[in-house]
Structure 1
Amino acid sequence: MDYSDRVNSKKGAGGVADAENANVHRKHRVRDLLTTSLLNLDSDPYVFRNHLGLLECKLCLTTHNNEASYLSHVGGKKHQLNLEKRRLLDEKGSRFSTPVGGGVSISTTPKRKWDKIGTPHFKVTKIRDPDTHRMGMLVHVTYSRATAEPLFRFQNYYELSAKNQNVAVSYHDKQAKDTQVAHTPADVRTATAQSQYLVVSCEPYENICVVIPGTSPIINPSTDTKTDEFWWHWDRDVGEFYLQFLYT
């Protein structure tokens, strides 16, 4: 465009354009970009035209009245930063992809596997507090070939797997038969559901489980804080684990 005859223009230079001329110039520039395929809205995966005829950027969640506004947005800092974040996210997802089946793995951390060497030697002893005369239990487990510190957890019946639930029912049924107490299947299920189960795990040994009767709830069974009524100790030198708790 010729700006030589405009006010405040120097000889041989472009004159000062007003807002109307700037808008005309911008529309010509956008039209040229669209015709030369430098800006192809059809191939842009992040732009679409809504029901009002406005352009929306799906990457930045912005709305634009015309192509010129969207072109300025594409060259802006916000859109470029979001493109970089999207690229990093795609690269991170590609690292999680597995070569078989083309799926996506939840975690790239290898699963811990070891060969179990059998059940450890353990002993359960009934105890009584000399001061409060409350009953309790002392669990002593020997791990002579332990590779890590033992872990323990108190679980109820509904936290067990289906297989372990059947084992628990069989255990309570056998206990009722050994004590020669008249019982029904409903009584066995009730006793099984009311009981607690202490599970102790240590690699490479198999897990052990101690059944705690439901009629004897534990005092504050917290695996994070040791108290006089509830404490545990792991002797790494001799490979022995102790856990003691009292009933309410």
Structure 2
Amino acid sequence: MDYQNRAGSKKGSGGIASSSQENLHRRKQVEDLLKDGEEVPYSFQGISKEDEELSKKNPYIYKNHAGRLVCKLCNTIHMSWTSVERHLEGKKHGLNLIRRGGTTSSQQQDAVSPEELKFKKTVEQLRSQIKDNGIVPNYQVAKVRDPTTNSRGIAMRVIYTNPEPSEDGGDRPYVRIMSSLEFTREESDKKYLIIAFEPFKAIAIEIPNEEILTNSAAFNTSGAKSVDDFNSKFTYWDEDNQTLYVQFFFKD
């Protein structure tokens, strides 16, 4: 055989790859990297256990009878996995996913039990009845220390001006300590002191994420009934001056 036109080759092996062959090999490597070892099932195949993981990651990508990649959601045909990746990141596929998600959420809403729907309606009704005059009360916050235990603490005074009289005459502000995980999507767990008194705006201040001394001496010694132990022990409501006092200490 004549090997003179096969530069750099050895007897029994093929010649140096041409540029078109290198491009074909490079595209195949790129597709293998993008597919990450996945095997796309055919549309006429039943989904087996091995294909379940694939269907969770790309549930709309299948192969048709000719081996072409098809997006069932957008009804598009793709020649390579690179084209599929561009399609998945494109505007058309994103809009179709949003439409599909809206349909799914409406179907899930239909599957809600009557008890949950009744509870949600009650919550919305109570929320609509909340009064809000848009006024933020004046408040002062100070760092304090317990003279006996030397524990660090927080003292707060909130002054409410011209509150609307309640029907039962026994309305007062209430305090609650909440975690940021309850009402935000923050990854870090922060603590907030929330003070609410209708119809004023609620007050929220960030406090150290430390344990509170519940067995310390009670700040409020009036013995008035309240919704929980924290409000009964560590808050005092001066009804004559419409002023709320809050004081508590942290465990060292």
> What is the TM-score of this pair, normalised by structure 2?
0.40
Greater radius of gyration (CA): 1
> What is the TM-score of this pair, normalised by structure 1?
0.40
